[in-house]
Amino acid sequence: MAGGARDIIVAGGFRQGRGEPLSSVDPATGRVFAEVSTASVEDVDEAVTAGEAAMRDPAWRDLLPHRRAALLHRAADLIHAESESLARLQTLDNGKTITETRALVASAAGTFRYTASALETLDDTLTTARGPYLSMSVHEPVGPVAAITPWNSPIASEAQKAAPALAAGNAVLIKPAEWSPMAALSLGALLLRAGFPPGLVSVLPGPGGVVGEALVRHPGVRKVTFTGGTGTGRRIAAVAAGKLMPVSLELGGKSPTIVLPDADLDQAVRGIVFGIFSSQGQACVAGSRLIVHRSVHDEVVERITAAAEALVIGAPARESTHMGPLIAAEHRAEVESYVRLAAEEGGHISTGGTRPSGDALGEGFYYRPTVITGLGPGSRVCREEIFGPVLVTLPYDDEDELPALADATPYGLACGIWSRDYRRAWRLGRRIEAGTVWINTYKQLSAATPFGGVKESGLGREKGREGIRSYMTQKGVYWGLDETPSAWGL
């Protein structure tokens, strides 16, 4: 650290940024625990220029894939070795429970390891010739990549972008969210320690409208990979259209969880409660709309209400805590305004709807798990992403209504189905517009399975082997095989 605020990472080194420092607040206490230096537009320019130079340097440009894979494995080892301190830092920075942040760190290490292995098995292609030549399609890095991330799952989000972008041979410029910059800075430091060349990785905290915007507009940035809100994603896509630059967008959600009348209700209730209330509901895939067959609706709501009331709300660093605080006071105020709106729209709050009481919780940004019934599918609370611990329930009568009811929001990120009949669940899952469908489970994610949304939940896919390809461009190479290479026969 220099000058009191934690340094940014530019051109392979740590230094103070030229932007206004920002304060990192512990959401469990409301207290500032660190100052973080931020990047300016000039810092962004310097970082992009260093990234371009690092990509051109033969030491990196000509490094064979298995050697790049070795660096990715080394990064995984370092993340793994530091896992407990990374998890604790993240719990302090964004209020997620320690069990969740440990899982995020494990996911980040796993992403680097999976990506390294996948990289070693990616092939270029010999294509079918239509003349006297040998034709190939080879893959090359797309160019410096800006990786812009939200606050809710740091380190895992950053790893999901940085690992495949680096595997593909790119420089990567990470712009973490204002409310949770710490994990990205730690990851950047570990990537430098792993041996990625200086300049190849920069970490540039700062306001989205300044640092994010400067990255997206910079002529040297050739791809943006973004996770965040739909409004921001749309804005980035508009700038990218002007530059004819590819973007991948992982955006918001209002994911339905469907309970068919034949479901194992014990299992379903446990899955639904975890699906909405883990991470305090601050998950893009949170199962925030519960669609239940009318014959079991009241019973399911009753059981969820009881399970929600039994959850332990408290200090996120404590092992026994189920729900920590929300990320920020402003964000909690927004969640509260949705709960007020639900009451105005005629909804009934079956549990929650208030802050928890107790001295130990008074200073943090805590909110009780909340269940709302009695609203129609067209109400704002049923259509808009709240990004907090708020579940709305909707009864249905006929299975044929389900696809339309499940799809009745602008989003299409994920969907859960609970049923003992696998044929029925399969048929339904295939009809719903969502990037991910979970059947008798929820919130399971594999580094090998492509992830993303449809409609206003996003564009493109991350993870899997194709996730690496999305950071590459293809080049056709033709090798002439006869003595008269031109059609003129000269």
Q: Work out which of 184, 216, 301, 394 binds ligand NAD, going by CB under 6 A.
A: 216
Closest to ligand NAD by CB, 82 vs 178, is 178
* Of 83 and 149, CB closest to ligand NAD: 149
β-bridge mates for residue 127, sequence order: 135
User: Distance between CA atoms of 367 and 389, rounded to whole angstroms?
Assistant: 8
Among 13, 131, 209, 346, binds ligand NAD (CB under 6 A): 209
CB 392 within 8 A of CB 372: yes
C-beta of 52: minimal distance to ligand NAD in Å?
20
Asked whether position 19 contacts ligand NAD by CB under 6 A, the answer is no
Closer residue to ligand NAD (CB): 4 or 231: 231
Report strand pairing: 201-203 vs 223-227: unpaired
| Buried/exposed code over 206-228 (b: 16+ C-beta within 10 A; e: otherwise) | bebebbbbbbbbbebbbbbbbbb
Using the rule CB under 6 A, is 411 a contact of ligand NAD? no
Residue 126: strand pairing partners: 136
250 catalytic residue (yes or no): yes
Catalytic: which of 100, 178, 284, 456? 284
Q: Which residue has the tokens 């031109």?
A: 486
- Which of 51, 253, 352, 395 binds ligand NAD (CB under 6 A)? It is 253
| DSSP single-letter state for residue 130 | S
Compute the half-sphere exposure of residue 207: CA atoms within 13 Å on the CB side of its CA: 8
Q: Are 403 and 258 in contact (CB under 8 A)?
A: no
How many angstroms separate the CA atoms of 393 and 372, rounded?
6
Nearer to ligand NAD, 208 or 377 (CB): 208
> In this complex, which beta carbon is closest to ligand NAD, that of residue 149 or of residue 350?
149
Structure tokens at 236: 């980035």
The continuous run of DSSP H or E covering 416 comes out as strand 414-418
* Rounded Cα–Cα distance for residues 187 and 327 (Å): 21
User: Which residue, 150 or 169, has its beta carbon nearer to ligand NAD?
Assistant: 150
Q: Under the criterion CB under 6 A, does residue 281 sit at the interface with ligand NAD?
A: no
Structural contact between residues 239 and 148, judged by C-beta atoms closer than 8 angstroms: no
Nearest distance, CB of residue 327 and ligand NAD, angstroms: 8
What's the rounded Cα separation, in Å, for the pair 305 and 391?
A: 10
The alpha helices in 209-251, defined as continuous H runs, are 213-217, 230-243
Binding test (CB under 6 A) with ligand NAD, winner from 175, 254, 455, 463? 175
Is 284 annotated as catalytic? yes
Stretches 26-34, 223-231, 266-274, 363-371: which one binds ligand NAD (CB under 6 A)?
223-231
Q: Of these, 27, 144, 208, 377, which contacts ligand NAD (CB under 6 A)? A: 208
Q: Is 151 in the site for ligand NAD (CB under 6 A)?
A: yes
Residues in contact with ligand NAD, shown as a per-residue x/- string from 104 to 143 under the rule CB under 6 A: ----------------------------------------
Which of these is catalytic: 46, 82, 100, 250?
Answer: 250
Q: Which has the closest alpha carbon to 14: 148, 158, 173, 204?
A: 204
Binding residue for ligand NAD, selected from 12, 198, 229, 460, defined by CB under 6 A: 229
Span 282-311, contacts to ligand NAD by CB under 6 A: 284
**Applying CB under 6 A, which residues contact ligand NAD?**
148-153, 175, 177-178, 208-209, 212-213, 216, 227-229, 232, 235-236, 250-253, 284, 385, 387, 413, 453, 458
Active site residues: 250, 284
